[in-house]
A and B are shown apart, each in its own frame.
Chain A
Amino acid sequence: MCKQGMSICARPAGRSGDGSSPGLSQFNRQAGDGPSPLRNMGRSRGWAAPLLGPTLTSGGDGERQPSRFQILGDDEQGVRLRLRLGFGIRYPRIRRRVVYPTILLKYWVGTSLAVLVLGSCSKVSYQPSPEVTSLGKIEVTARLSQIIGEFPPNNLYDYVYVMKYQVLKVHRGQVEGQEIYVGHYNPLKPRAQAADKFSGKIGGNVYRFQAGDVHRLALDKPLDLFYMGGIIDKFFKEPGTRYWAIWTERSPE
């Protein structure tokens, strides 16, 4: 196990008595064997080892091979390698250990665990913004249950598009029923970029709208009072108030 990070060291065979392994024969050197056949490769300053392990091919001619390992040098204690993980981070080198499979396995497991932990922590750590808790007269957490049709492009005109939501929780004000119809201004634009002189203050962190997402919404009504322009409402035959979306955030359920 490398102590200093994700690096590979080639351990000369025989020193720990564990014998050599295929592919590591180059490292099976004894005192007096002369310079490591990898010396030239290290001098080439290239990535000298293939991806899947410290299996080095001919090292005598300094042939460079694409690799994630860089040979830093070799001495009587062994060959010093540095593992490059593909995103520009270099870890301190460790001598004397061949731990590649174990290290990489632990790296990926660790990363995956970190992602899971962060993801689960996001549910616990979600804090609604000051805007969503204060703007408008109504605040709900709701699931976007239906979008009918496609959003037209914005190259010819601005518009509001009405979508259907299933209310999960009402935080402020009152809504009519469990299903509400909410108009979003220029829904092709991320909420943070949607506001203009004709919409007034609107915003949020929703980047795009897709059915199934859960949003925390600051609303007002009726929609027609807050936006005087073209409205696309494919639910026009359905009765019910149309709400104007002021602030729209992604929310955990």
Chain B
Amino acid sequence: MRCHCLMPTAQCPNRLILRGISLLLICFSGLVIGTAADGAKAVGPDVVAQSVLAREVAKAGWIVFSAKTERGDWDLFLMRPDGSERRKITDTASFNEAGARFSPDGKRLLYYRLPKSEAVDNNTYGKFDLVIANATGENPVFYGNGFAWASWSPDATQLACLAPQGIQIIELASRKVIKQLPRQGLVQQLIWSPDGQWFVGTANGLGPYWNIARLNLARGELNAVSEVDRYNCTPDWAPDSRRIVYARGIIPQSPGRAELWVAGGDGQEKQMMYAEAERHIYGACVSPDGQYLLFTRSVEDLGRVDNSQTTMSLIRWKDAPMVGDDSAPLRQRFPAARRGPRLDLGGGWEPHWTQHALVK
């Protein structure tokens, strides 16, 4: 737009306005470019980058998670991956609901129900009563005790559960054990791989502490996935059934925080994906398309979730490795790590992601 009046620029209001707008546009462009060019230098929330990330994931399915209500109990909630459309799907004042996972077809949910008096705990929630409901939480069917750490089969017709005697494959329709194989030390957080050929879980016996192990169903062979000189837990599969994400924990009586790592199923190619100096990172979940990482950030270490100030966050897989704060020691360990963007999704614990539309 051009002003054709004969007044000097300093006196022409149109030209002054145009000049002001031009200056604002230049400054804004510089801010965007500067942020995109080197994320590691960004300090504080990067609102623009977060907004872009939020728009990417807004319609990419649904996330189910547990959160503490005003009553003090833990209920299940659904939300969009950008944190919108958050709503409660269980409402049980006398019980806590925990450990929800969508079936691979996105039609149902399994979760655990425990008395409100029981602590909600990373290491014990799967030992309580199993419930299977629609993906929206309706029509819950109570399965009860005896289905510890249940995981969906790829076709959602069976469950794999941990029992003292071994890993039990249970037919959902009849609730009968159709196959059993030795646990070989697997004790919690069992997850069936998307291709149906492997189990991953937290296991004893690979080192002095509990670690991540992968078990081949056909051959019955167990191998360590994580390092074995420290605590490791809360594993999950990437959609390709080749990589496993997990919480790389601490060495007891040593300082440090749990970090989000990925490794090949054979324990090779370990890589840090996300870490923070002031937060423990647990509950990693890969998006169904493998493009994003969903996890929890806790001020206090888990175990017991109460009072841990646990929130959920999401990053792009391709933006990893990422260090979420300005910790000098972490920057020294991971000099190539990016600073963001990280999309914060509010309070919640043990989230799980489905790409399917919800069906009642």
Contacts and interface: CB of A to CB of B under 8 A. Distances in A.
A231 interface: yes
A31 interface: no
A157 B187 contact: no
B127 interface: yes
B203 to A, nearest CB: 10
A224 interface: yes
Contacts of A108: none
Contacts of B162: 228
Interface string A211-253: 0000000000000111011111110100000000000000000
Given A198-B127, A231-B205, 19 more contacts: A152-B253, A156-B301, A156-B303, A157-B303, A158-B123, A158-B124, A224-B183, A224-B187, A224-B205, A225-B164, A228-B162, A229-B123, A230-B202, A230-B204, A231-B187, A232-B208, A233-B204, A233-B205, A236-B207
Interface in B109-138: 121, 123-124, 127
Interface of A: 149-150, 152, 155-158, 198, 224-226, 228-234, 236
Q: Is the interface of A mostly helix, strand, loop or mixed?
A: loop
Contact of A224 (B127, B204, B208, B304): B204
A156 B164 contact: no
A157 B123 contact: yes
B209 A232 contact: yes
Contacts of B127: 198, 228
A184 to B, nearest CB: 15
B103 interface: no
Instruction: Report, nearest first, the 4 A-B pairs whose CB atoms are least far apart.
Output: A156-B303, A231-B204, A157-B303, A234-B208
Contacts of B121: 157
B347 to A, nearest CB: 20
Interface string B163-203: 01100000000000000000101011000000000000010
Contact of A230 (B164, B210, B253, B304): B210
Given A158-B123, A198-B124, A198-B127, A229 B164 contact: no
A149 B208 CA distance: 11
7 contacts: A149-B252, A149-B253, A226-B164, A229-B123, A229-B124, A231-B187, A232-B208
Contacts of A230: 123, 187-188, 202, 204, 209-210
Contacts, number: 60
B148 interface: yes
B42 interface: no
A167 to B, nearest CB: 23
Q: Is the interface of B mostly helix, strand, loop or mixed?
A: loop
A234 B124 CA distance: 23
B302 interface: yes
A58 B202 CA distance: 80
A56 B267 CA distance: 84
Interface residues of B, number: 26
A179 to B, nearest CB: 18
Which of the listed residues B183, B204, B206, B252 has the most CB atoms from chain A within 10 Å of its own CB?
B204
A231 B124 CA distance: 14
B24 to A, nearest CB: 52
Contact of B208 (A198, A228, A229, A233): A233
Contacts of B303: 155-157
A156 B204 contact: no
A129 B206 CA distance: 37
A229 B121 CA distance: 13
Given A150-B253, A233-B208, A236-B205, A228 B164 contact: yes
A36 B228 CA distance: 84
B148 A228 contact: yes
Nearest to A156: B303
A166 B165 CA distance: 29
Which of the listed residues A150, A225, A236 has the most CB atoms from chain B within 10 Å of its own CB?
A236
Contacts of A229: 123-124, 187-188
Contacts of A233: 204-205, 208
Nearest to A148: B208
A158 B148 CA distance: 17
A156 B202 CA distance: 17
Nearest to B304: A156
Nearest to B204: A231
A229 B210 CA distance: 9
A195 B165 CA distance: 22
A236 B253 CA distance: 19
Nearest to B185: A224
Interface string B282-321: 0000000000000000000111100000000000000000
Interface string B218-246: 00000000000000000000000000000
Contacts of A224: 164, 183, 185, 187, 204-205
B254 to A, nearest CB: 12
A230 B208 CA distance: 10
Contacts of B208: 232-234, 236
Nearest to B207: A236
A152 B253 CA distance: 8
Given A158-B123, A224-B185, A224-B204, A231 B164 contact: no
Given A152-B252, A158-B123, A198-B127, A228 B209 contact: no
A158 B303 CA distance: 9
A160 B179 CA distance: 29
Given A224-B183, A224-B185, A225-B164, A231 B207 contact: no
A240 to B, nearest CB: 13
